[in-house]
Chain A
């Protein structure tokens, strides 16, 4: 599967290039939006989030330049993007931190790509959005410290709540109409936590009330343990189950044996 996905990766890069004009257009729209900055809602809850006025101003500038064309100059949302009032800092940190936002294309699903802002800019943007209405905050260091978490318990929670979409090993899986649950390989604990907390795109929300902070740390511990442990049986074949095994059985197993049979049947010289 990995082999197959290579040429496909190249394909999607091409597609991305085709969408480049659209990205430019979006950026241009964002810049014009800057002129209307005066109409933007003023950050009220600055004190509550503990962010300085300068941070909020930076965040708003970033918002107007990069996000407002879809999410609206007043963060009220449009046909191209929902309102961001009340989505919380965690949501911003996840979406922008994983490069999903700003979106390059509006397909079945917005894809992960290279992060386009520095962590400081993301923080400013998150603080600005958080100041507009209450929402989940970016998880603290303590919340993310999974050193003492129970990977086995996390596995149970993961298999009940996550595996049906992301597959048993976090390799990802298909959803309806071209959407998909992405691979969790290499995703940072913070982004995993934020995704559960905010439910980006198709993903439902797993609030701390029903899936506690400890549960989430257990899940992260499970993923990190199983994804970093050596594969005891050899090549893992993408950890997607019997499909790749079947391919390997035919190509390597039977294919190798047929090659031997051809050698056996060929006359010696």
Chain B
């Protein structure tokens, strides 16, 4: 033991003399990490990304990003002798003729789905708890960029095998490129090296998929994680946790073991899923040729909301001056995601402007205590879910024996009706929960015991809640709406930007008009002295 310690010490000495690493280790080993399951969602995404890098590298050893047509001579009989691209043939080779190839392919694909899904759930957690607030807006923006890029990365990835399903996806991509005003036709010809499908695009998207985008991911994820480290993690509003401290477990050893262990858990769960559940059985789809298509042509789920927007959009095309503007493509493919992602990215700035709150926040919100934000978040998620479901309208139709036309019309109406409704309902629920919290603090918990008073009245006995719970229920702020600024400043000089401040006051009213004020000790005392229980 002593020898081990000595040699470890020797190595540490050599490193420190070169990098001065002791300073860093001294500061970091006891760095505090708040512990909560919802803080692991981002880690699922991070670890999935590492799994993607590892399995992806394995796949590149055999995959041939080439559209050269070759006859298939591998071991899968139902495709034997068919002409197909080398990309598809090499994917079949990985699946059937390389030992462990299929499990690696399946881990890679499942990890991709989990990567995007984890990012979505992680961003929802960050949103609903207000973790995006100052000083973490930059990290929110990086997160939005990562989600956006992951959708593109996923599309490129599942297109590489050049099977019938993925080829259909790129046929649609061609249509989308062509729809871009003015330059679309040129972009499409440059992208495909001529007409669709051409002989170039698999090789091109391969470079994007394995080099360019992963590089960008790596850079963004590094900054994202370093910022979490530097700005320290947020924490839930529990007793003893304030804006000026950070409560949790030390980085070494507890968090190292937990986070490190969780990487292996993520890898393990993904692998077990891949061991027993098929994903993307390309051998069943057949090689891509532009004259064929399959029923239920769907993208992976992260493209689903775009697919849904495509399916719901009415056939609006503008023809003028000898040019064509395909609104039936531009709206679902550019405007819908543009609005969704831009509003998502800008939300922290918008909320800061509306609330005028310029402070740092490290203690999280309970979603019910910010009803408007929570309502808006649910509204965005609902929109996304409706589009996602609409993207699977044919599968819904066949599974539930419904009319695909009726489903499409249902979603066409729902996309305008349900999200606002979900906003209102969520906000009401939040306010209701706040009211209940207030009652709990002031009147205590219902015990279910009925007591008869001397005067004969029957009352239920209420028990006061614990100090801890009372603190949790009352620790939040409940800001009221901003007042409209007077048109002139104190010196009587007219203010500029009156319109902006009017708008701001109006949005602020929208945010904060309905509110439940958390009870105070004074309230509790007054209630007690008035004899009411």
Q: Please report A residues at the B interface, Cβ cutoff 8 Å.
A: 1, 4-5, 8, 12, 108, 150-153, 155-156, 159-160, 163-169, 171-178, 180-181, 222, 225-226, 229, 231-237, 239-246, 248-250, 252-254, 256-258, 260-262, 264-266
Contact = CB atoms under 8 A, between A and B. Distances in A.
A173 B41 CA distance: 36
Given A151-B78, A180-B397, A234-B276, 11 more contacts: A8-B400, A156-B82, A166-B295, A232-B95, A232-B102, A253-B110, A253-B269, A260-B262, A261-B44, A265-B36, A265-B39
Given A168-B164, A168-B285, A254-B44, A152 B77 contact: yes
B398 A174 contact: yes
B79 interface: yes
Q: How large is the interface on B (under 10, 10 to 19, 20 to 34, 35 or more residues)?
A: 35 or more
B34 to A, nearest CB: 10
A164 B38 CA distance: 43
Nearest to B281: A233
Contacts of B95: 232
B276 A226 contact: no
Q: Is the interface of B mostly helix, strand, loop or mixed?
A: helix
B451 interface: no
A7 to B, nearest CB: 10
B40 A265 contact: yes
Nearest to B272: A256
B306 interface: no
A75 to B, nearest CB: 31
A174 B397 contact: yes
A201 B107 CA distance: 42
A226 B41 contact: no
A164 B278 contact: no
Contacts of A229: 78
A175 B295 CA distance: 9
Contact of A163 (B294, B298, B401, B406): B294
Contacts, number: 214
B179 interface: no
Nearest to A260: B265
A168 B165 contact: yes
A164 B293 contact: yes
A265 B401 contact: no
Nearest to A231: B278
Nearest to B81: A152
B295 A173 contact: yes
B117 A249 contact: yes
Given A166-B295, A242-B301, A253-B110, A225 B40 contact: no
B277 A256 contact: no
Contacts of A181: 295
B106 interface: yes
B301 A246 contact: yes
B78 A155 contact: yes
A258 B114 CA distance: 11
A164 B295 contact: yes
A174 B394 contact: yes
B270 interface: yes
Most buried by B among A150, A159, A243, A252: A243
20 contacts: A152-B78, A152-B81, A155-B82, A160-B291, A163-B286, A167-B294, A168-B165, A169-B284, A173-B296, A176-B404, A176-B405, A225-B77, A233-B279, A241-B297, A241-B298, A242-B299, A246-B304, A253-B117, A254-B114, A265-B36
Given A156-B82, A173-B295, A262 B37 contact: yes
Contact of B278 (A172, A233, A243): A233
A250 B277 contact: no
Contacts of A232: 95-96, 102, 278, 281, 283
B70 interface: no
B117 A8 contact: no
Interface string B400-412: 1111111000000
